[in-house]
Chains A and B, each alone.
Chain A
Amino acid sequence: MFPARIQEYLRPRSVAEALAAITRYDAGDAIFLAGGQSAMQAIKSRMLRPQCVVDLQGIAELKGVSVSNGALTIGAMTRYVEIAGHGQLDGAFAALRDATSHVGDRQVRNRGTIGGSVCWNYVAACTPTVVLALAGAMNLAAADGSQRSVAADDFFLGPLETARRDDEILLSVSWPAPPPRTGSAYKKWGLVTDALPVIGVAVTVTLDAAGQCSAARIALAGLADGAQRGKLGEAKLVGSRGETAAIDAAMGAIADAADAHSDMSADADYRKQLIRSLGREVATRAFDRARG
């Protein structure tokens, strides 16, 4: 495990400098390095052989969490430890803290970033799944000065694939102010504490004034196609009041239809059972948080 030859290491101070650096190389020959907790593994194993590493650690404009009138923007280079410990991420955004406080280990959370995780989009990862359930928007900038915002539903294309082009940089993940009475939650099960999810479930629900669910999104981690919605279950949560029977019906529908695989971590039936059991716990918590 040792990197192949790297010709150039650059540490730009601004987004404009970073984009100028990446476009000096052919597509794929230069890579952005965020926290490096996944990318460095790929570089050391030579799955990635970048000629140029563009390290984003020096770009202050990519860092930080801002909450303004309820809207949330998290800079791409904001680390897990900063999200997990942020005092304003509750209710609608609480799933972000649920996930980031259990990613990897302390050392990983001190370096790993939300932007690195969503752009890497590993097949079994917590952050893409939570961003998908919470319907985050990925804000991208390109070297020609253009910017675009891509909804989570359109951004995550499958394991290690996203809608980001090689010449685009992720600026931030953002959300408008959530409707009142919105709550979210996430939980995973892995082989050891805080390991990658064998299955992870993220749920967000919005309740009307009478406490009835008016909108729901469910996303799963740990299936072979990567982070994905559980739309069959969403439809069953809407109209309910978060009763255990309704939640079980929703998660049961997702589990029954899930294209679960068997591997050394768990067999397909066990994965489906995890969807049901984690799903009940997570959805119940999301409803509780929506009620405030």
Chain B
Amino acid sequence: MLKVAGLNVRYGKSHVVFDLDLTVESGQMLALLGRNGAGKTTSLMGILGLLPGAQGRVAIDGADVSRWPAHRRAQSGLAYVPSGARCFPNLTVAENLEIAARRRAGSNGSSSTSSRGTSWTKERVYELFPKLGELQANMAGGLSGGERQMLAVGRALMSNPKVILMDEPTEGLAPVIVQSIGRLVLELKQTGVGILLAEQNHQMALKVADRAAFMEKGRIVDEMPAARAINSEVLHRILGV
């Protein structure tokens, strides 16, 4: 599904991410855990092709996309839920969704109802988040934090991605919304989408993840099944719990 090997990211002279290796399988979720400044966001942006200083191998479904610009990686199945629920504030909710609308890469219209479930449309996103349906003509800039988070997830779904890269989707949200995002993530996994979740909130992350990778000073220092990570020593050491 998504395979990253030897990813290094440099900002000018400073080296931020070192030899990152990770794999996200179809229908599985990898939690990338670490403190602020450990390099999680930079890693995600490097995988997405948004950083010119990133080097290393990124493959989607076996196809090497390392030399592709960000929009082609997105078209071939990577979706991004950025931190802070970034949206296009000067566009309506509906336009925010339409902008990412894309048929699933490699499928033509007729086979869109495959074993992975039907493909995502605006109507299906509104079914999932009725609130967004009510607000569809509103400017995204006027939404609350929770609503914008729904919109960011909805926008990612609209591209019918193979893998979603989420950056702290629960940051600053009320516990109820965190729970519903957790449930949504579980549902998404069942449709065969792979998820790479960068988080500081390990409680939610480890509940829904299959595996956990721990990041410190730009390197992955340990990786293990999520069930084992909950009581691991590395979790205590890195996140101080």
A and B: interacting chains: no
Residues of A within 8 A of B (CB): none
Interface residues of B (CB under 8 A from A): none
